[in-house]
């Protein structure tokens, strides 16, 4: 079976655009720190960046992976959170809705 150069280039362009689109869709599932809700809750992807003066409830050692609301599996870098309508939060993140696991 012979493939023409034109067929190959068209197929390659389709594959590349599909991969680019899937990356955008996956990235869109992460909570945006600049969204209104994230700002309201003081969400940061990295708890080490939480401003303790602005977030007096924060205590060192608190992060999404040890929050009762985090729905990711142990070891996952990102996992869904119901506070953010199921969008993914970083396991190292933190927000003021933090509730320690029992």
pLDDT digits 0-9 by tens, 20-59: 555 444 555 999 999 999 999 999 999 999 999 999 999 9
Say if residues 67 and 79 touch (Cβ distance below 8 Å).
no
Q: pLDDT (tens digit, 9 = 90+) per residue, 64-78?
A: 999 999 999 989 999
List of residues 6+ apart from 1 with CB closer than 8 A: none
Spell 44-79 as b/e; 16+ CB within 10 A means b.
Answer: bbebeebeeeebeebeeebbbbebebbebeeeeebb
pTM for this prediction = 0.72
CA distance 8 to 17: 14
């Amino acid at each position: 079976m012979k493939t023409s150069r034109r067929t190959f280039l068209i197929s390659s362009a389709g594959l590349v655009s599909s991969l680019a689109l899937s990356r955008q869709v996956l990235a869109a599932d992460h909570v945006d720190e600049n969204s209104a809700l994230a700002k309201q809750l003081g969400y940061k992807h990295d708890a080490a960046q939480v401003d303790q003066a602005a977030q007096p409830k924060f205590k060192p050692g608190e992060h999404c992976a040890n929050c009762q609301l985090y729905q990711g599996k142990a070891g996952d870098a990102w996992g869904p959170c119901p506070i953010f309508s199921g969008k993914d939060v970083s396991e190292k993140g933190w927000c003021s809705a933090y509730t320690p696991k029992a």
